[in-house]
Structure 1
């Protein structure tokens, strides 16, 4: 069935005016054009829709059905076009964001509030996860349109835009030989076992997070595996190794058995918005812009 909404509009106008001539004048069309539209609609429906009487034309029983349902159909079509336009402009729609709280707690609430203020029609859903693998899985299976994650992600299926560069810190037990330092270098950490999810991370991600090899070419000593930040910090507190993390992690996790010390000579971590290729582009532009505004430009 090829139903043109202009044909429905023509029938409704004729029914309101009670005359094809008056309807044609109202629609700025010729009488022949309006009659042709009614005939096309009758072919689609398969029955007569107008009856001629001494007083003019009136809907047939089938025409009455179109007249009753037609206004809602046209209104729904107008609403669809309007909503699609707003979505295309980034002023409406749904945006599902996966994030790790320890990396984004200092700016994520401001980002969500800014999105909702800029475009009241946007529905923002946030999903807290613990690991990079969780974020990538949420993107891959469609549970999230975008994710805030640290680069490199070791996955080229998704596009990404950097929003923040952040220095590194080292988590140490409070009785560690380096715990009282104002800062440490990679040379200071030589031979220190580094805990973390190294068995399940892509190789390029492992090399970047662990700085392996070190600048002098020596390999990293890998400590006990741990999949979440909480597990990493428990191992550190137990004296089983150290953990290298973004600086914001120190402000999020506090623990009586931990000391956080800046690491001065390693490349910064780079936080990015990553997204599915089919995610709404206008909403993503709005998300990236606000993440940069509230988290700070990379650099």
Structure 2
């Protein structure tokens, strides 16, 4: 029996992504190549594993068996090679991750639990940071092996970056704000609105991206008071000193102060990446990336609305 784990990984990617196209993007393959691997796996199994439907794909009963047991095979193989490599190199089983709590609270515990299942010898050490410069410093000075952070970070070729998710931008407003009664906002609605947020120590291109400066019509953004951390930005908004543009996950994280969060529907989404120094080469990092891509899902405006009602 010539059964390659790559064939199982292709099936798992299709199931998790819900389509051949998205699975091909994730695996850095063509759609035809992914489809060919699925057909090869079906020939080995002697039966159909997927139902191709107009709205996507669905596992057959046989496919459910292969996917469930195949996932265990892939995890076991990954753990085997990881342990062998680490023992052979005499390297640490410690993995230090820099993160911003407001961006990762909805998935970090699940990622850690997944790592514990497939590699119980690995110890994940979280390092909480509040700003992009702090996160970059942690990677540069060796305090962190990897980091979950929002792109862009500026022109920096010291790191390798792996996109995980994209989230819509949300605008935080004080409850009495004239725009607070809306259900959504467009960039033009913020034409006369001071925007708070971090600027000191940030690359100019990054500041322009977050503040949407200039606006699509060429007018400059209005820079309000600087809030270095999310907590400072929230307090400035609550005091009516400006609005703050942030990812949807941030809007679900902070229960207080009570603010109004509205989606900025015509703004470019925000991308969260897993990043580590280019000089780093460890199977633990590859394992972290694989489990993160399997687990991490974006927050949505609907999730923000539900959090606001709770």
Normalised by the length of structure 1, the TM-score is 0.68
Computing the radius of gyration over CA atoms, which structure comes out larger, 1 or 2?
A: 1
CA distance in 1, matches of 2:204, 2:282: 31
Structure 1 segments, 4+ long, off by >6 Å, are none
Offset, 1:85? 2.3
Q: What is residue 128 of structure 1 aligned with on the other side?
A: 128
The residue number in structure 1 matching 2:252 is 251
**Is this contact kept in 1: 2:234–2:257, CA < 8 A?**
no
Partner residue in 2 for 1:210: 211
CA root-mean-square deviation? 2.2
The 3 A distance-change label for structure 1 pair 277 and 84 is: farther
Could you tell me how far 1:239 is from its partner in structure 2?
0.7
- The equivalent residue for 1:230 is 231
- 1:85-124 equivalences under 5 Å are 85-86=85-86, 93-124=93-124
Unaligned runs of 5+ in 2: 1-81, 299-310
Q: 1:148 to 1:87 in 2, by over 3 A?
A: farther
**Cα distance between partner residues in 2 of 1:252 and 1:166:** 14
The structural deviation recorded for 1:88 is 7.3
Change (3 A) 1:92 1:142: closer
- Matched residues in 2 for 1:237 and 1:210: separation? 19
Q: Kindly provide the CA deviation profile for residues 224-282 of structure 1, in whole angstroms up to 9, marking residues without a partner as x.
A: 11100000010001111000000011100122441111110001100001102233431
Determine the C-alpha separation between the residues in 1 that align with 2:87 and 2:195: 46
Q: Output the CA distance in 2 between the equivalents of 1:295 and 1:229.
A: 22
SS of aligned partner of 2:128:
strand
Ranges in structure 1 where 5+ consecutive residues have no aligned partner: 1-81
Query: Deviation of residue 143 (structure 1)?
Result: 0.5
**Preserved contact between residue 200 and residue 228 of structure 2 (Cα < 8 Å):** no
Report 1:18-167 matches (<5 A): 85-86=85-86, 93-154=93-154, 155-167=156-168
Are the counterparts in 1 of residues 139 and 147 from structure 2 also a CA contact under 8 Å?
A: yes
Q: Deviations over 1:152-189 (max 9, x none)?
A: 01233211101111101000000001112111000011
Cα deviation for residue 116 of structure 1 reads 1.3
CA distance in 2, matches of 1:151, 1:166: 11
